[in-house]
């Protein structure tokens, strides 16, 4: 039986390959998923290459990709690889160098390995459950901020597609509540950036009013291993069934929960 550390090395190799493809490519075909939501030929290319690589390296582990769904589901293994081949596709399409490859190994709906590459910035973040968080091999931890007035807070994208208007009422209310209380608000357009930069202390909170596994699984593990508290909007421990992903340095979590709209 392979250890989590061995599986993490396999994940790092897969993400390195994917990051090289992302950094060296520009999209040639942009396809509409839904209202103002797209994917590109590079999203599909990366997902297929990582899927094939992991199927060869770990044939006993299932795979879930954002663009093409599940494969290899008939298995006795409790593990599933979960991939976002290009987190921040809109940034990628527009040439903004804030896009990521995010890969998690999930066991019973909880990530136990997480690897995220920000290839345009030459940064790779890694974590194994219980083993701490790292960037380019160096240990990282969340900031020591204790007051919202000193906090840099990253927020997730506004919604697109079906139900966007209703969803954005809450997101805009959150932005308004934060605007008069925190030092600065940032919207990077990538949940992976939000969560790993929280882990590294570049931002002090990441508030994502959504919870898609490919978007957040790896980043939540990395943030937690760096000392972040990750909950839902009620304050309950975050898991795969949570509606929201509220992650922050621990001292400001209660202050944030007090102002997040229901």
Cβ-proximal residues to 166 (8 Å cutoff; 6+ apart), any chain: none
Question: Is 88 found in the same domain as 159?
Answer: no
Please count the other Cβ atoms lying within 10 Å of the Cβ belonging to residue 139. Answer: 10
Question: Is 163 found in the same domain as 122?
Answer: no
Q: Which of 109, 140, 171 is the last residue of a domain?
A: 140
Cα 55 to Cα 50, 59, 68: the distances in Å are 8, 5, 15
| CATH assignment at residue 29 | 3.30.540.10
Q: Is residue 237 part of a domain?
A: yes
Q: Write down the H helix ranges in 201-252.
A: 213-225
Taking only the tens place, the pLDDT of each residue in 125-139 is: 999 999 999 999 999
pLDDT computed for residue 31 by the predictor: 83
Please count the other Cβ atoms lying within 10 Å of the Cβ belonging to residue 159. Answer: 20
The two structure tokens encoding residue 178: 């934060």
Q: Is residue 262 part of a domain?
A: no
Q: How many separate domains does the chain show?
A: 2
pTM over 0.85: yes
Q: Which of 121, 140, 159 is the last residue of a domain?
A: 140
| CATH assignment at residue 242 | 3.40.190.80
Contact between residue 235 and residue 243 where contact means Cβ atoms under 8 Å apart: no
Taking only the tens place, the pLDDT of each residue in 16-72 is: 999 999 998 888 888 887 777 778 889 999 999 999 999 999 999 999 999 888 887
Question: Is 136 found in the same domain as 154?
Answer: no
Question: Is 67 found in the same domain as 35?
Answer: yes
Question: Is 126 found in the same domain as 22?
Answer: yes
Q: Residue 83 belongs to what domain range?
A: 4-140
Question: Is 242 found in the same domain as 202?
Answer: yes
Cα torsion for 178, 184, 190, 191, to the nearest 10°? -50
Which residues of the chain have a pLDDT value below 70?
A: 1, 73-75
């Amino acid at each position: 039986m392979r250890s989590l550390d061995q599986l993490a090395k396999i994940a790092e190799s897969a993400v390195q390959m994917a990051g090289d493809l992302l950094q060296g490519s520009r999209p040639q075909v942009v396809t509409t998923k839904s209202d103002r939501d797209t994917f590109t030929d590079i999203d599909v290319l990366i997902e297929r290459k990582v899927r094939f690589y992991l199927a060869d390296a770990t044939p006993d582990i299932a795979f879930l990709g954002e663009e093409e769904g599940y494969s290899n589901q008939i298995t006795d293994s409790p593990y599933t690889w979960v991939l976002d081949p290009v987190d921040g596709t809109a940034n990628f399409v527009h040439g903004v160098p804030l896009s990521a490859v995010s890969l998690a190994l999930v066991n019973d709906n909880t990530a136990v390995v997480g690897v995220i590459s920000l290839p345009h910035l030459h940064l790779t973040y890694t974590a194994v459950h219980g083993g701490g968080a790292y960037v380019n091999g160096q240990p990282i931890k969340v900031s020591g901020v204790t007051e919202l007035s000193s906090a840099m807070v990253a927020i997730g994208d506004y919604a697109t597609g079906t139900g966007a208007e209703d969803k954005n009422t809450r997101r805009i209310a959150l932005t308004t509540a934060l605007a008069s209380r925190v030092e600065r608000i940032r919207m990077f357009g990538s949940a992976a950036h939000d969560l790993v930069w929280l882990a590294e202390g570049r931002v002090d909170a990441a508030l994502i009013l959504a919870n898609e596994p490919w978007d957040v699984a790896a980043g939540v593990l990395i943030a937690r291993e760096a000392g972040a508290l990750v909950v839902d909007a009620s304050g309950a421990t975050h898991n795969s069934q949570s509606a929201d992903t509220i992650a922050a340095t621990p001292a400001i979590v209660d202050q944030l929960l007090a102002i997040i709209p229901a």
